[in-house]
Chains A and B, each alone.
Chain A
Amino acid sequence: MPETMTPPSFDASDQPPMDPLAGILAVLLPGAGHWYQGQVRRALLVGGGVLGLFFSGLLIGGIDVVDSRQDRLWFFGQAIVGPVAFATDYVHQNVLKGLDPTTGQRRSPLPNEVKDPDSGRWVAGPAGSVPPVSKSLGKMNEIGTLYATIAGMLNLIVIIDAAFPSAGRVRRRGA
């Protein structure tokens, strides 16, 4: 006679309640939500993973891979990394980019261009001068952009996991 097996039942009371503060902290800094919940090791791993991917993207393609004006669709994904992504974009747009002398639009420098400190416009520099930032092109730009965007996508998973914690995890609060 076959032995009957009872499927494991799901008890809704096992599910921890939603934790919106942890979700907000995870948005502000990757891993902070799990740290707040007392899951320090998990916080270090997810924070190191997300920020490691984001800054690796910047290292590979340069800061040019985070550009909310020129690569807006990619920036939507990168923005989920949090204020770090917005601060990076702010520095890129307002500190490193300059004004085109003809159109007045903000843009990256061409080779041998330097920024005029008074007007903020790009001007031709002396021979051998180096612009403050280089435009990244080709594979390095693609791979760097991919790194930074995947970091944002992963942080979305981290935010959801912090805000809606799984059952069976050690928690400091609400025990």
Chain B
Amino acid sequence: MFAILLTVPAVAAPLASASVGVLAWRPFFDPLDLHRQWFLLLIPLAFGIAVTYRAVRVNTFERYWLKTVILTVQIVLAMILLGTAAYVFIQFAVPYLLPMTG
């Protein structure tokens, strides 16, 4: 559901060019061909998590959607920070701590 919002434009463009491979795509039976844009799928994932988690946590639904959007942004930013930290650790810290010999 959430992924549909994001993937429709990405799927519609190749469909317009009448590519045989994309026309053969069968929803739920074939995987999407979004291997290069996979990271964009993390945004609807964060939104889905926020919708459900906020619905459980709040007592009243006052400003519910604002809280949901804020949590979505927080999740996405946290993933970016964790990804950056992992990149820095692997690219710079590990070669410094464990230099390759020979």
Say whether A associates with B: yes
Bound together, the chains give a CA A62 to CA B46 distance in angstroms of 20
Tell whether A141 pairs with B31 under 8 Å between CB atoms, given A52-B48, A59-B4, A60-B3.
Answer: yes
A135 nearest CB neighbor, chain B only:
B31
Interfacial residues of chain A within 46-101, with CB under 8 A of chain B in the complex: 46, 48-53, 55-56, 58-64, 96
A144 within 8 A of B: yes
Q: Number of B residues contacting the other chain (C-beta, 8 Å)?
A: 29
Interfacial residues of chain B within 1-55, with CB under 8 A of chain A in the complex: 1-4, 7, 24, 27-35, 38, 41-42, 44-45, 48-49, 51-53, 55
Contacts of B34 in A (CB 8 A): 60, 139-140
Interfacial residues of chain A within 32-58, with CB under 8 A of chain B in the complex: 41-42, 45-46, 48-53, 55-56, 58
Do A154 and B49 touch (CB < 8 A)? yes
> Which among B3, B27, B42, B53 has the greatest number of chain A C-beta atoms within 10 A?
B3
Main secondary structure of the interface of B (DSSP, over half): helix
Main secondary structure of the interface of A (DSSP, over half): helix
Bound together, the chains give a CA A42 to CA B35 distance in angstroms of 35
A136 nearest CB neighbor, chain B only:
B31
- Using a CB–CB cutoff of 8 Å, the interface residues on chain B facing chain A are 1-4, 7, 24, 27-35, 38, 41-42, 44-45, 48-49, 51-53, 55-56, 59, 61
- Using a CB–CB cutoff of 8 Å, the interface residues on chain A facing chain B are 41-42, 45-46, 48-53, 55-56, 58-64, 96, 130, 132-134, 136-144, 146-147, 150-151, 154, 157-158, 161, 166, 168-169
In the A-B complex, the 6 residue pairs with the smallest Cβ-Cβ separation, listed nearest first, are: A49-B52, A52-B1, A45-B55, A136-B31, A56-B3, A140-B31
